[in-house]
Amino acid sequence: MSRAAGKAVVVSGLGKSYRVGRRGFRPNTVVEAATERLRHPLRRTVYEEFRALDDVSFEVPWGEAVGIVGRNGAGKSTLLKLLTRITAPTRGRIELSGRIGSLLEVGTGFHPELTGRENIFLSGSLLGMNRGEIRRQFESIVEFSGVEKFLDTPVKRYSSGMYVRLAFSVAAHLETEILAIDEVLAVGDAEFQNKSLAKMRDVAKDGRTVLYVSHQMQTVTALCTSAIYLERGQLQYYGAVDGALERYRASFATFAATQAVASRRAGTGELRARAVRLSEDTYEPSEDKLIEIDLDANPEMLGQYFVSVHLNDENGVTVVQCDSRNVGVWLDPASAQSVTLSVTNLWLKPGRYTVDVYVCKTGILDSWEGAAVFEVLPVSPYPELAGDEALAAGMVLSDFSYQAVPAPAVGTP
Summarize pLDDT for 16-63 with one digit per residue, the tens: 998 766 555 566 677 777 777 777 776 666 667 788 899 999 999 998
pLDDT at 213 over 50: yes
| Rounded Cα gap, residues 265 and 281, in angstroms | 24
pLDDT at 315 over 80: no
Query: Would residue 410 count as lying in a domain?
Result: no
Query: Would residue 255 count as lying in a domain?
Result: no
* 397 and 381 Cβ atoms separated by less than 8 Å: yes
Q: Is 390 left (phi over 0), alpha (psi -120 to 50) or beta?
A: alpha
Q: Which residue has the higher pLDDT, 99 or 12?
A: 12
Q: Which of 212, 245, 240, 231 is nearest to 80 (CA)?
A: 212
Same domain, 128 and 239: yes
Summarize pLDDT for 231-248 with one digit per residue, the tens: 889 999 999 999 998 888
Same domain, 246 and 268: no
| Rounded Cα gap, residues 28 and 113, in angstroms | 32
| Rounded Cα gap, residues 255 and 309, in angstroms | 18
Q: Which residue has the higher pLDDT, 160 or 362?
A: 362
Query: Would residue 233 count as lying in a domain?
Result: yes
Angle of helix 190-205 relative to helix 160-172, nearest 10 degrees? Answer: 0
pLDDT at 77 over 50: yes
Q: Which letter does DSSP use for residue 75 in this model?
A: S
CATH code of residue 302 = 2.70.50.60
Q: What is the pLDDT of residue 184?
A: 60
H or E stretch including 376? strand 364-376
Summarize pLDDT for 95-113 with one digit per residue, the tens: 998 888 777 766 666 888 9
Overall number of domains in the chain: 2
Same domain, 143 and 216: yes
φ, ψ for residue 71 (rounded to 5)?
A: -75, 170
Query: Would residue 45 count as lying in a domain?
Result: yes
Band the pLDDT of 189: cuts 50, 70, 90: low
Average pLDDT, the chain: 85
Summarize pLDDT for 342-373 with one digit per residue, the tens: 999 999 998 889 999 999 998 999 999 989 99
Q: What is the pLDDT of residue 1?
A: 42
pTM, rounded to two decimals: 0.67
Where does a domain end: 196, 221, 250? Answer: 250
How far is residue 393 CA from its own chain's centroid?
21
Query: Would residue 407 count as lying in a domain?
Result: no
Q: What is the pLDDT of residue 93?
A: 94
How far is residue 319 CA from its own chain's centroid?
12
Same domain, 271 and 244: no
Which residue type sits at 57?
Answer: S
Q: Where are the alpha helices (DSSP H) in 40-153?
A: 76-83, 116-126, 131-145
| Rounded Cα gap, residues 275 and 309, in angstroms | 13
pLDDT at 124 over 50: yes
Cα distance between the two ends of the chain: 72
| Rounded Cα gap, residues 396 and 347, in angstroms | 6
Q: Which letter does DSSP use for residue 391 in this model?
A: G
- Averaged pLDDT for residues 184-205: 72
Same domain, 173 and 300: no
Query: Would residue 66 count as lying in a domain?
Result: yes
Same domain, 85 and 200: yes
CATH code of residue 135 = 3.40.50.300
| Rounded Cα gap, residues 200 and 152, in angstroms | 27
Q: Which domain holds residue 284?
A: 264-380+386-396
Query: Would residue 258 count as lying in a domain?
Result: no
Same domain, 121 and 204: yes
Q: Which of 39-43, 87-91, 158-162 has the lowest mean pLDDT?
A: 39-43
Same domain, 177 and 313: no
pLDDT at 74 over 50: yes
| Rounded Cα gap, residues 398 and 309, in angstroms | 21
Sign of CA pseudo-dihedral 157, 162, 168, 172: negative
Where does a domain end: 188, 220, 250? Answer: 250
Where does a domain end: 218, 250, 282? Answer: 250
State the DSSP string of 146-196: T-GGGTTSBGGGS-HHHHHHHHHHHHHT---SEEEEESGGGSS-HHHHHHH
Same domain, 90 and 232: yes
Query: Would residue 56 count as lying in a domain?
Result: yes
Same domain, 227 and 351: no
Q: Which residue has the higher pLDDT, 255 or 1?
A: 255
Q: What SS3 state is found at 100? A: strand
Same domain, 225 and 143: yes
Q: Which residue has the higher pLDDT, 43 or 402?
A: 402
Which residue type sits at 190?
Answer: A
Band the pLDDT of 91: cuts 50, 70, 90: very high
Q: Which of 367, 356, 359, 369 is nearest to 337 (CA)?
A: 359
Same domain, 225 and 342: no
